Amino acid sequence: MSVAPRPVRKTVKDYIRSIPDFPHEGIIFRDVTTLFADARGFRMAVDQLLAPYAGMRIDKVVGLEARGFILGGAVAHQLSTGFVPIRKRGKLPGAVLSQAYSLEYGEAVMEIHDNAIAPGERVLIVDDLLATGGTAEAGITLCRRLGAEVVGTAFVVDLPELGGRRVLEAAGVDVHVLCEFEGD
């Protein structure tokens, strides 16, 4: 009698496609759209992103443009809480707060509606990838400017060599990541 082999259990990292030389030569792009396209992978990622925060009071989940909208919306749904987008400059109608941050070659600006979070609300910031930490740090600053308490940040991928975790931890924020890719 033969025994069927056990199925190999995938991790979140197994669903992420690596694309060499995109968007520039020497860069390996970590593509989470393959994770989103697989029902099991996507569910696994959402469940793991919210796991450390389950049972905590979270008033809003904040998603960073653009893949943070996909993940953040799903996490907010699972936590039965509201969702707030932080967008690139000029994408939100109405009154906004703006925060500039540094990029590798220049500067960018993120914005949030000026009434999206009430003072004292507890927020979780979600995005797909943590690299240098600049975008997430701008998001933390915007939330704090509105009087929010940032209870944590959650990312699918960390690129540890770029130092983003250190930046966010220096800002006094918990960092939760599902997987790491070295050498990026």
Q: Please say if 104 is a catalytic residue.
A: yes
CATH number of the domain encompassing residue 126? 3.40.50.2020
pLDDT value at residue 45: 98
Q: What is the pLDDT of residue 76?
A: 98
In percent, how much of the chain has pLDDT > 90?
A: 89
Q: Domain span at residue 165? A: 56-180
Domain count, the chain: 1
**CB-CB contact of 147 with 118 (8 Å):** yes
Q: Is 132 left (phi over 0), alpha (psi -120 to 50) or beta?
A: alpha
Within-domain flag for 138: yes
pTM of the model: 0.94
- Which of 25-33's residues contact partners 24+ apart within 8 Å by CB, and which partners? 27/184, 28/181, 28/183, 28/184, 30/129, 30/157, 30/159, 30/181, 30/184, 32/67, 32/128, 32/129, 32/156, 32/157
Asked whether the predicted pLDDT for residue 183 surpasses 80, the reply is no
The catalytic position among 6, 9, 104, 107 is 104
Q: Report if residue 154 sits inside a domain.
A: yes
Banded model confidence at residue 184, pLDDT cuts 50, 70, 90:
low
Query: Residue 118 falls within a domain, yes or no?
Result: yes
Backbone phi, psi, residue 174, to 5°: -65, 140
Q: Quick one: pLDDT at residue 182?
A: 87
CA distance 164 to 144: 19
> Is 149 within the bounds of a domain?
yes
| pLDDT at site 9 | 79
Name the active-site residue from 67, 87, 122, 165: 67
122 lies in a domain?
yes
Contacts of 115 (CB under 8 A, 6+ apart): 95
| 71 lies in some domain | yes
pLDDT of residue 141: 98
Residue 165 annotated as catalytic: no
Domain for residue 140, yes or no? yes
In a domain, 49, yes or no: no
List, for residues 127-177, the tens digit of each pLDDT value.
Answer: 999 999 999 999 999 999 999 999 999 999 999 999 999 999 999 999 999
